[in-house]
Structure 1
Amino acid sequence: MDEETMWKNMFEKLNELKVNPPTEHESRLQDADGSFFEKFGSLLKQKSYLEETTFKTELEPFGNENENDSGPDSYRCFEAASEPINITPLALEGDIREVESFKEQFVEAAVGMNVEDLYEEILFEICNQFGCEANSVCAEDLLEFIQEVFKISDEKHDDILKLAKLKEPPNLRLNVEVIKAENLLPKDANGFSDPFVTLYLESNATHRYNSSVKHSTLNPIWEEHFSLPIADNPKEEVLIVEIWDFDAAETVKEKVNKLFDVKGVKGLSKLMKEIAQAASTGKHDNELIGRVAITLKSVPTSGITAWHNLEKSSKIKSRGSVLVSLTLSAEKNKRVAIQEHRHLLNLLLMHELDTSQVSEYWWNGNFSTNAELIRSQHAVQSGLTNFDCALSQWIVYSKIHENQKLSFNVFNSLLDVIIPILKVLQTDSEDTKSFWNGVKRILPSCFSIVRKIRAKNVSDKHIVSTLCEVLDIISKIKTLGHPVGEIFPQNIYGFISPMCLNTNNIDEVLIEVINTGVKEWLEYILEGSKSNCNDEPTDEAKLEFLIKLVQMVRSDLQRAMEYFDKHFYHKIRFNYSAIVFKYYDSNIFEICKNNVEDVCSHIKTLHIPEDTLEYSNLLDTKSLNMGTTLFELYLVLKRFVTLGKKQILFSY
């Protein structure tokens, strides 16, 4: 059971009690347990009320997203209380213990697994930290922090900690990627080398690992991976990386045939030595170009990729450099580790949001120091890759985002890691399905930003930056092609026709979202432009109303062209203002057509005599003025259509 389901079930139970009061037998049960659940329900209700009314700030870029929204309220578990709530203090010690017990049950329900097993695993990892960060962190601080996150009592914490300390230390491995080397020292007569890499741990020098040989180059590229078991304390281990010049077994004749490939006097001297050695002993020896020693205590939990200068004894001469990537990991069942990581992320983030009280859309993915250390230690000790961690964060964060909006930057950075891997995975893989379930949860808030883009002033920097973040997310998701599964549920996208939703096409749904935003804005300005008086408006007032309406619509179109068009086009190849104009054009036509026809039916034909000065008092000035206003409306409409057609031509 996930956290959202639990909240919903609890709320439904409270409603059921309101409709069906407890029987006499049930009342006796409540008396027996001290009405614990009733009191705890009041606490939860008060907490919800405070969170929605007290802790919101004016800094949020898109506060009150669901305010005055005609669409279904699909993003909240339940509404906050609208009346003050009186809390009866829990005075009895037994009640307090029951509350603590309920907290633990709540955490376990949110985690979805045995909370004590997960808690023991995290304590075990804290007691067996590795990585350079472990040197500067107090384990006691981490233990105190994680106890607060899991809401574990002191007594139970002590018991589980004893069990964690009795477990054997993890089997660690050093994961090495030898990426490339540059500017190596030439060792062959042709002015090049045939380099290969040998690496080993200083404590186990006999167990060596060799890379492939790259022939005739001083700038080899390997990109080869190795995994070395660490038997001793990783803080005391040293990795040795050596680059050798490979010398193949060749006869004297084969050596002589290389005479024409010699480069310079130094190359000729090298070749002569090789020929002499082959003739006298027949041996061939690989020659060391350089080596580097890397202490593992300098490797952070997240791993490190760095260049290292090659050395050889006490010689100062530059021998080149090698690029090596190092990470530490422990051996663990990967499926279990991924599930643990997701549950841990859920608890850490819920605790982070609860304690920091940041506004919606403001949490940017940066945990507090203690939370990040625990998260990274679990990832490393579980052997999780960057993709495993990013996908886990995508799944967990998208669920939380449904009710507590996170910054769109969080999802953008995760997509940069996830998308390249998903492109090579099969569409029916579990990872792909899990990713699209996350997309299903995130897109409603993305579309809400596009739909309500007029709710903020463009002078507010947040409106443009947030729109760009949303468009980046949509753009990256679209690179994966057609969605896997249905990602547009009717209960959330009730403002869009089922036929459009059934296509499961992001572009088509986005166009409908833009049109819905235009429709709502048009309805808003139509309502706001109406006269407050109850009398039937005059024909002149009707025309002036149309002129004002067209001017406001044109202003909105101009705003779209100046501020939003470039972002829509550069990021998702959408001509935003052309879509806006098409909707306005069809609807403004109908509004103007009905009103103009009604006005024209009341205008009389003007018969102007030859001597207008003599008969000026006989002219119908009302009809004359009406004609002038009609012409003004024509000019306003012409300017609007001219502006819009430019955008339509551009879109083709």
Structure 2
Amino acid sequence: MTTLLDLKSSVLRQVQRSQSLRSRREPPPTATSPLTHCPDPLPRRISEASVEFFERMNAILQKQENMMRAAQAECQRGACTVPPPQEHVDQAFIPDRISRTELDLLYEEAVYTVVNRVGVPSPEHVKSDDELFAYLRKVFDMGEEEHEIILQKVREAKRASFSLRVSVMKAKNLMAKDANGYSDPYCMLGILVGQSPRETEEKKERKFSFRKRREKLEKRSSTKEVLPARCIQVTEVKPETLNPVWDEQFVFEIDDVHNDLLHLDIWDHDDDVSVAEACKKLNEVSGLRGMGRYFKQIAKSVRSNGSASSGSEENADDFLGCINISLNEIPVVGYDTWFKLEPRSSASKVQGECHLILKLFTNQRDTTLSKKDTNVSIHKKLLSQIVEYEHTHVKREPYNWNGQVSPPAWTVLTHHAVQTDLSPLQQAIIRWQCYSSHHRTQRVCYSLLLRLLRTIDAEWDPPAVRGDLERQLSDSFRLYTEHCLCLMKNMRQVFPCTSAAAITRYELMLRGIGYMQNMQAFKTVCPLRNELHLDITTAVKKGTAEWYESLIARYRPEDGTLEEQLKKLVQVIDAVCADVQRAQNIYNKLFHSAVKVDFFSISYRQLEKQAADDVNVAMERVCGTLEQESSRLTQTMGEIVFELFMSLKILKGFREFLPLKDAKMLALTGFHNWFKSSIHKWLQIVHDRSCDRIRKAVETDKLEPLQQAKHSSSAVEVTACFSQVREIWVQLAWPDSAGAFIFVTRLTDNFCSEAVCYSEMMTRKIERNQLGRDHKSFTVQLCIALNNAEHVRVFLGNLPRDLDWQGVERAMEESCGVDGKEQVYKALNGQLFNMDLDLQREAKHLITLLTDKMLPELRRYIQHISLSPDSINNDDAVSPLMKYLQDTMVILTENLVKENLSRVLQSMWELLLRMILDAVTENRGVQVEFYNRFQYTVETLLHFFQAKGEGLSMEDMKSGDYKVLDEELRLNKCSSFELIEQYYLEKISHQKTLKHTRYGRISVKCYYDAPEQRLTVEILHAADIIALDANGLSDPFVIVELCPHHLFPMAKSQRTQVKLKTLHPVFDELFYFHVSPEQYRHRFACLTFIVMDYDWLSTNDFAGEAIAPLSDFCWPGRPNASPAGKSVQPVILHLSRSKPSEKPIMRMLEARIGDREAQEFVRRLKEIEKSMEEE
């Protein structure tokens, strides 16, 4: 509460001081007044400096807008061919290179892979060994001789042994063999031994079946044709289904990968005997020849284990179809497809398909590496070597390489992966490890890495990743994460917003790191890194702090003079604002969508705190310097302080993008208090420069109207200056209500004093220019000067809105109560009111210059009307004046704005009224035609100045001097009796207005006896009359008479007795007058009561008079002189002592020398006035 009261007192003191600046109670400013004094023109360089000052201020005000435009331009990232900056990282993240010996062993592995290729190559594979060898020599930088040695070694080595992995997945749309409309299918599969080329041709001509091939197989005598029973595999029986799902895997060792075949039968199981048992019994048989015999014995075995009572084959398994696949037709990457079931013969009826996955791989490799290292490790080394070579040969945008390798590389890698039996998951992990590791030395496209992560995620199978592979995957995730965090810390250098390619890469990197932290693989192998967003937050904070420190190190704001330090600090804050703008426009969106981290909040709070600390320290130095007596705020320092304030305001404004919880307790809260004293001094500099600019505008103004306007260049320049200062205040947006009120008061006073100063300078310029100019050109320039002042006045009329006075009033009411609001209202509106009075004063002065120029001509034309003979036509008498006014009106209408035209017309109208009134008063007692002529002149002027509703209003014209003139003309045209009657009407009207006077009062009763036509007047007493004798008393008596005398020629005045030495005489006397109805019906018929002081040595003294119209007593129905009439309440009349000579009627009557009645009336009134003067 104490703080609030202190604030209120402080603000009210400021208000009182502000009100005193331009108080109307003070005497007019002297020539040295700082508010309205306009010194002689300063040197030209000062005016130019003022222009440059406002240009710099405008540039400062546009800083935020320019920053927004620059940020938007950065956001519109079109096609940009400029490569992004290098992504320099810590050496700890760069992987070790392998030795030459290891390369030779790896080369042997690659050559062994090429030599032992199997499977049908795809179109993108290279078929030529020579082409593959040539490519590998380049990859491994191998000479011809070394290549031949290794190739010879590989050819002498043991050939690779192959196996076939068969995955029987499912079948669909099988034939229904059971009565219930279903079948109980199972599969029997095995490898058919190699065939001769002739048999291969026969195979192409007809379908295979076990039964049809049996005879040919039995004819073979070679022992290699005999296969062991374990090469025959059987799936489980799937009961009652036509779409069985087995998902069983079998591995067969292959003797002849180029000639052997895979054969598969699907049967309907019709008894309870296990087919697996039948196959088991075959293991006891040896020496059978031919695969067909084995399948035949299985079938017989199954039948023999059926029902014992049935010797027929009714319970034999029903054939559902078969599939024959030559191993040499299997693609390099294997089969994963649906195969159509085939019949045994044309008589068989089968339908449906079976889904098989087939893959050939080696189960024994005769290479050095394969004997001491794992297949995963070998493939990883091979891929790393190939990736490094492929990337070095990318010519266009190598930083954006998508990881695609050449056909020879793809061929070698595919064959090696197939031969070493790497699963898709293992291959995905290897590719991720290689590319992410390579990326740390030579960057690749982040979309490639993201794609590799997605592949791992899609293939992820936790049980398949154990041991070394799990550890290696964990290390790769860790290294990549740390690498990305390092880049995040340096993101402003590595991923600048000025590079579209860099921002695109950054977005993909964040998406990748965000995707990785949500992968099940990452959670499994890196269980302790479950708060990656905290690591990202830490990296952003550290990177932001380091970036700010680099700014400080670059600009070094602690060096140089105080002005230089502040200027450097402005550059620092501007750089921070630009960075925050980029954070809000670009980076924050990337972080939020990719990793759900509020980058803007983190970086803004960090930068805001560091910037606030540095500026606070600097402003303390500034305030300390300004507090020294000999120090003052220079213009340069003021501009820098203002720019620093605006930069901080821009920085503070970004808090609106913070979450509500983060927008509290920020370091820049209340930062305006650091600048309060400096801004006060700086506003004085702005005022001085504004005055210089206005002075320059007046000097260079040629007083020529601008296009489509009636004001000149200086008015535009002045309002432009005001607009800029107003915009400065708007941009300041001072948040403290008390401070805002003080500043608004100061600005309003500055505006008002500058406007008055401008108007005074324009007036002086017009005064200097009037010499030697013709009437028309001078009138035009004067009109422009008036319009200039009006243009400025209208502009300043919007100050309450432009400076948000209502907002200041509300703020002051909240902080200081209703009294504070009232003081604000009075102070600000008082300033504006005083300014308006000053501008009107200057406008009147200019108009006076104009009318003074017109005065000789107008006086001549008025004199012409006055001296015109009575016989002349009124139009002819008035026409010269009207012709002059018409010509003047054309000039004024063309060059004045409406408001000024009204003012000038009003001034001309008042001038003409005064001139006509002077002419009339100088010519009293002349012929009535004289007054009729001027009456006609006034009526003509009324219509002229009204201008059919476009000029002055009748209401405005028929007031003031017009009423006086109109009355003067009307009275001058009256007879002497009419003037006397008018005199008593005015007296009656004046008597009614008297409520209390210092001359006392008189109490009377009046009642009229209609039958007798007699008016009874009873004078009761008087009270508080003035003392006219030396003893402080009077000897009063009352004279009563009927007036005017020409209406009551037979009535004589009557008087009471004298009451000695009293101021409260009691008379109680009756007087009777004869009054006819024709007499009392006149409004001017009245009774006058004149109180006199009896003086037996000299003339009686006049003490006062009162008047009562007869209409108050004499009217039909009024109580008569009967006893009832005597009960009428007395009337109290207040006495007055007005001088008759002050009334125009008196002067008019006095001017009528030849009129006896007029002269007699004047004589009697002068006697009364003379008695007043002798007191």
Give the TM-score of the pair, scaled to structure 2.
0.36
Instruction: Measure, in 1, the Cα distance between the counterparts of 2:350 and 2:673.
Output: 89
Query: SS where residue 326 of structure 1 aligns?
Result: strand
Pairing partner for 2:118 from 130, 135, 138: 130
Alignment of 1:262-411 (within 5 A): 280-281=310-311, 284-312=315-343, 313-314=345-346, 319-332=351-364, 335-357=373-395, 359-411=397-449
The partner residue of 2:247 within 214, 220, 223 is 223
User: 2-side partners of 1:562 and 1:121: how far apart?
Assistant: 49
Q: Which of 518-527 and 122-131 deviates more?
A: 518-527
Change (3 A) 1:423 1:163: closer
- The equivalent of 2:272 in structure 1 is 249
Q: Deviations over 1:103-156 (max 9, x none)?
A: xxx9xx725755444433332322221121189611111122222322233223
**CA deviation after TM superposition for structure 1 residue 330, in Å:** 0.3
The 1:463/1:318 distance shift into structure 2, 3 A limit, reads: farther
Q: What is the CA RMSD across the aligned residues, in angstroms? A: 4.7
- Identify if the C-alpha distance between structure 1 residues 327 and 453 changes in structure 2 by more than 3 Å, giving closer, same or farther: same
**Alignment equivalent of 2:451, drawn from 380, 399, 413:** 413
Contact 1:182-1:321 at 8 Å conserved across structures: yes
Within 5 Å, which residues of 2 pair with 1:224-623? 224-232=248-256, 234-249=257-272, 280-281=310-311, 284-312=315-343, 313-314=345-346, 319-332=351-364, 335-357=373-395, 359-419=397-457, 424-425=462-463, 429-447=467-485, 450-451=488-489, 455-457=495-497, 460=500, 463-464=503-504, 466-479=506-519, 480=521, 505-519=531-545, 536-537=562-563, 552=578, 555-560=581-586, 563-564=589-590, 567-568=593-594, 572-580=595-603, 582-583=605-606, 586=609, 592=668, 596-602=672-678
Q: CA deviation at 1:165?
A: 1.4
Cross-structure match for 1:169:
159
- Alpha-carbon offset, residue 536 of structure 1: 4.0
Closer, same or farther in 2 for the Cα pair 1:277/1:167, shift >3 Å?
Answer: same
Cα distance in 2 for residues equivalent to 1:394 and 1:240: 38
Shift of 1:231: 1.0
Task: Please tell me the residue identity of whatever aligns with 1:305.
Answer: D
Task: Say whether residues 1:110 and 2:92 are aligned partners.
Answer: no
Q: CA deviation at 1:549?
A: 7.2
| Helix, strand or coil at the partner of 2:240 | coil
Distance 2:569 2:736 in 1: 10
* Distance of 2:167 and 2:156 partners within structure 1: 34
Q: Which residue of 2 aligns with 1:178?
A: 168
Superposition deviation, residue 302 in structure 1: 2.2
Asked whether the 8 Å contact 2:264–2:324 carries over to 1, the reply is yes
Contact 2:379 2:416 in 1 (8 A): yes
Structure 1 CA distance for aligned equivalents of residues 322 and 464 of structure 2: 42
For residues 48-127 of structure 1, what are the structure 2 equivalents within 5 Å?
62-66=84-88, 110-111=98-99, 114-127=102-115
Residue deviations 1:218-265, cap 9 Å, x none?
222222111111111x34333223322222239xxxxxxxxxxxxxxx
Distance (Å, rounded) in 1 between the aligned partners of 2:587 and 2:109: 55
Please list the CA deviations of residues 311-348 of structure 1 after superposition, one character each: whole Å capped at 9, or x if unmatched. Answer: 22447977222221111100146843333223322322
**What code does the residue aligned with 1:506 have?**
L
Sort the Cα spacing of 1:605 and 1:65 in 2 relative to 1 into closer, same or farther, 3 A.
Answer: closer
- The one-letter code of the counterpart of 1:203 is V
Decide whether aligned partners of structure 1 residues 112 and 385 sit closer, same or farther in structure 2, where only a CA change above 3 A counts.
Answer: farther
Q: Aligned equivalents of 1:181 and 1:59: distance in 2?
A: 54
2:190 and 2:233 in contact (8 A); partners too: yes
Amino acid at match of 2:360: L
Distance in 2 separating the partners of 1:116 and 1:604: 81
Q: Within 1, Cα distance between the matches of 2:570 and 2:149?
A: 80
Aligned identity (percent) is 22
Contact 1:478 1:506 (8 Å CA) reproduced: no
- The structural deviation recorded for 1:365 is 2.5
Give the drift of 1:214: 1.8
Q: Could you tell me how far apart the structure 2 residues matched to 1:518 and 1:315 are?
A: 81
Partners of 1:576 and 1:227 in 2: how far apart?
54
3-state SS of the aligned residue for 2:118? coil
Partners of 1:561 and 1:230 lie apart in 2 by: 58
CA 1:235–1:191 in 2, change beyond 3 Å: closer, same or farther?
A: same
Question: 1:323, 1:426 → 2: CA distance?
Answer: 24
Give structure 1 stretches of 5+ with no counterpart: 1-57, 78-105, 251-275, 488-502, 607-620, 636-652
Q: Which has the larger radius of gyration?
A: 2
Question: 1:369: Cα distance to partner?
Answer: 0.9
Deviation at 1:475? 2.5
Q: Match of 1:227, SS?
A: strand
Structure 2: runs of 5+ lacking an equivalent: 1-79, 195-209, 211-226, 274-305, 365-369, 616-667, 683-721, 738-1175
Distance 1:564 1:160, change over 3 A: closer
Q: Pick closer, same or farther for the CA change 1:413–1:173 going to 2, 3 Å.
A: farther
1:528 CA displacement: 9.7
Bigger shift: 365-374 or 449-458? 449-458
Encode CA deviations 1:403-446: one digit per residue, 9 max, x unaligned. Answer: 11223333333333445777625998322211122223322443
Match of 2:233 among 202, 209, 227: 209
Hey, what's the Cα distance between the residues in 2 that align with 1:462 and 1:315? 69
Q: Which amino acid aligns with 1:631?
A: A
CA spacing shift, 1:633–1:329, aligned 2, 3 Å: farther
CA distance in 2, matches of 1:526, 1:75: 30
Q: 1:217–1:522: structure 2 CA closer, same or farther, 3 Å change rule? A: farther
Letter in 1 for 2:340: N
SS at match of 1:291: strand
Residues in 1 aligned to 2:671 and 2:159: alpha-carbon distance in whole angstroms: 83
Separation of aligned partners in 1, 2:350 and 2:611: 75
Return the structure number with greater relative CO, CA threshold 8 A, min gap 6.
Answer: 1
Q: Deviations over 1:67-104 (max 9, x none)?
A: xxxx8666679xxxxxxxxxxxxxxxxxxxxxxxxxxx
Contact 1:360 1:406 in 2 (8 A): yes
Q: Is 2:141 the counterpart of 1:151?
A: yes
Q: Report the Cα distance in structure 1 between the residues aligned to 2:557 and 2:608, rounded to whole angstroms.
A: 24
The whole-number CA distance in structure 2 between the counterparts of 1:130 and 1:304 is 13
Q: Distance in 1 between matches of 2:565 and 2:85?
A: 42
After superposition, the Cα gap between the structure-2 partners of 1:437 and 1:183, relative to the gap in structure 1 and judged at 3 Å, is same
Checking the alignment, whether the CA contact within 8 Å between 1:361 and 1:408 is kept in structure 2 is no
CA contact (8 A) 2:82 2:501 kept: no
| Contact persistence 2:84–2:501 (CA under 8 A) | no
Measure, in 1, the Cα distance between the counterparts of 2:726 and 2:119: 87
Determine if contact 1:196/1:211 at 8 Å carries over to the other structure: yes
Q: Is the 8 A contact 2:537 2:602 kept in 1?
A: yes
Distance 2:390 2:576 in 1: 49
Deviations 1:43-84 (A, max 9, x none): xxxxxxxxxxxxxxx857633223xxxx8666679xxxxxxx
Which residue identity is paired with 2:385?
Answer: L
Residue 6 of structure 1 corresponds to none
